[in-house]
Homo-oligomer: A and B are copies of this chain.
Amino acid sequence: MMSSTISTDIIRGHTDTIILNILRQGDSYGYEIYKRIIQLSGQRYELKEATLYTAFRRLEKEGFIVSYWGDETQGGRRKYYRITEEGRKHYERNVKDWDFAKDILETLIKGGIEDVRE
């Protein structure tokens, strides 16, 4: 599995958006988000746990998410994350940036001189 042709450098810069996209659909915790990313990609991409937890810290520091401990009476404790209003705005902005950049990127990697934009 995970015959990943998706290089990490292509995903780089989208990690935060990917996480926020999951959280805007409901609170979740690290391991579940980790699994859901694999599932969403159809087993084609795995965001490493270390990267994920690094991102949580970054996002929380920037005020885009908040965390709270679940009240599991048994089993491993879970740290849940919730997206903030700021986080939603940040997500929307990132998606907009992505849609915008996508087209330019397409021209840059495939276009010839006749495709010059104005």
Contact = CB atoms under 8 A, between A and B. Distances in A.
Interface string A38-50: 0111101100000
B109 A95 contact: yes
A108 interface: yes
Main secondary structure, interface of A, reads helix
A54 to B, nearest CB: 14
Interface string A1-30: 000011111111110011001000100000
B117 A10 contact: no
B41 A104 contact: yes
Interface residues of A, number: 42
8 contacts: A5-B101, A10-B13, A14-B109, A18-B108, A25-B113, A36-B113, A44-B104, A102-B102
Given A40-B113, A42-B116, 14 more contacts: A7-B97, A9-B12, A10-B97, A10-B98, A11-B101, A14-B109, A21-B108, A25-B112, A40-B116, A41-B104, A42-B104, A44-B104, A95-B109, A102-B102
